[in-house]
Amino acid sequence: MSIRFVLPFFEYYINSRFISQFMNIKNSTILSVLSKGLSTLVVFGIVVLTARMYGKAGRGEISLFTANYTFILHFCSIIGGSGLVYLYHKKSLKKMIFYSYLWTIGVCFLAFLVLLFFYSFQISHVILVVVTSFLVASTQIHSNILLANQKLVAYNTIKTAQSLILIGILIFDYYFLITQTNTIFFMIYTLISFFITAILSYFYVQNIISLQKKETQKTFETMLKYGINGQISNIFQFICYRATFYWIEYFYQKHEELGVFAVAVMIAESVWVVSSSIATMQYAKIANSTSDKFSRIYTNQLQIWVLGATILLLFILIIIPEILWMSILKVEFSGIKMLLICLAPGILAQAVSRMHTHYFSGKGNYTLNNYSAILGAFSAVISGFICIYFWGVNGAAISMSFSYILVLVFTTFQYKTVRFNQINQ
């Protein structure tokens, strides 16, 4: 029995084709990590600038704005999301882009009506949220085309460009303008940055679009099928990530507490730069690979890298003294250190489980991802209400960690089951 399990690994490592693949993977992964690392540093700079400009109440408003357009984006991505990468070599690219844009326009129009008539948002806020959602969705469509072509330099450039543009505008505002007390200007700056990025990303993909000649039938039906299967998990995962934001808003009826919590969450989630970079590469490689053996060993290696890097980064964040966080942000942002300690176990759990979910996505097995996301969402909604009721903002952090750990337990069990079945086939 032991030889049966060892031989596949021997065959893998002595095969020069796989070795060369791993060399390419490592180079691509390092490039992706460096690019997203730069983007994370820029995002951290944005958090610091906006915390100093708008205070914790302003950061709370910004967090809700970001959460709202991101939630709309997930519905836009049903057509034009990760399914576009999976179907790139199987369906007509021009048709997929056409349907992606048409779907995005429809979702944004529906979101406009829902926000306008069912929620007490100002018309200016609704317009900014919806237009930003459309621009982000457009950029994502172009980025997924680049990812499907494994144009990693262009892909990472697009991902970094928006943050660089936004922080550039904010720095100019901070030193030369007088809009620091009104968060509506931040929303406008965000819209401008995504508009420029959408235009830039289009120029990257226009040649790819013109070269693709494949014509196929039932393109929209196939995109909808894979999009729903793939995006359900992202929608529920978003609820798992951000349910506590809305619970804090519900309990406190003001933005100050949410502002402090949101900043702590963004700092903690910056650790995911390693797992998200590697997971992006993992998905692209596995989706384009026909070897189950390669996909398994590749994923196992990545889990080790992600686990070690995430533990190291979390340790660095936790040992930073509270007084330093308050001096970097503002004195009013107290309690960051305790929130980071409460969030750390969940951040680590989610980083590792991301390797499992991207493995399933690369194999087109979205059902397991849907189950894990639904489990996480329900856990976040229920535990979030209970924990915030009893322990306040720290309870929100505990709730997030509990939900992420629960998801990790589920995905680990499913991954080991799938892997065992493949080995025994």
Is the entire prediction scored with pTM above 0.85?
no
**Cα-flanking dihedrals φ and ψ of residue 307, to 5°?**
-60, -50
Q: State pLDDT tens for residues 351-401.
A: 999 998 888 888 877 788 889 999 999 999 999 999 999 999 999 999 999
Better-predicted residue by pLDDT, 39 or 389: 389
pLDDT at position 387 is 95
pLDDT at position 33 is 66
pLDDT at position 216 is 56
Strongest mean pLDDT among 19-28, 76-85, 138-147, 320-329: 320-329
CB atoms closer than 10 angstroms to residue 253: 8
Extract the tokens encoding 351: 């980083």
Q: How confident is the model at residue 423 (pLDDT cuts 50, 70, 90)?
A: low
Residues 370 and 229: their CA atoms lie apart, in Å, by 7
Q: Which long-range contacts (CB under 8 A, 24 or more apart) does 153-161 make?
A: 153/31, 154/204, 156/31, 156/32, 156/35, 156/36, 157/35, 157/204, 158/197, 158/200, 158/201, 158/204, 159/35, 159/36, 159/39, 160/35, 160/36, 160/38, 160/39, 160/42, 161/196, 161/197, 161/200
pLDDT at position 7 is 36
Extract the tokens encoding 425: 């086939």
Strongest mean pLDDT among 81-90, 107-116, 145-154: 107-116
305 CB burial (10 A radius; 0-12, 13-18, 19+):
middle
Mean per-residue pLDDT for 274-278? Answer: 84
Q: How confident is the model at residue 294 (pLDDT cuts 50, 70, 90)?
A: confident
Q: State pLDDT tens for residues 201-226.
A: 888 887 766 555 555 556 777 777 77
Provide the Cα torsion 291, 296, 299, 305; round to 10°. Answer: -120
Cβ contacts of residue 191 below 8 Å, gap of 6+? Answer: 128, 131, 132, 135
- Helices marked H in 77-119: 82-87, 93-118
Instruction: List the chain domain ranges.
Output: 2-423
pLDDT at position 416 is 85
pLDDT at position 12 is 40
First to last CA, the chain: 14
Q: What share of the chain in percent tops pLDDT 70?
A: 83
Q: Output DSSP code: residue 271.
A: G
The number of residues making up the chain comes to 425
pLDDT at position 152 is 72
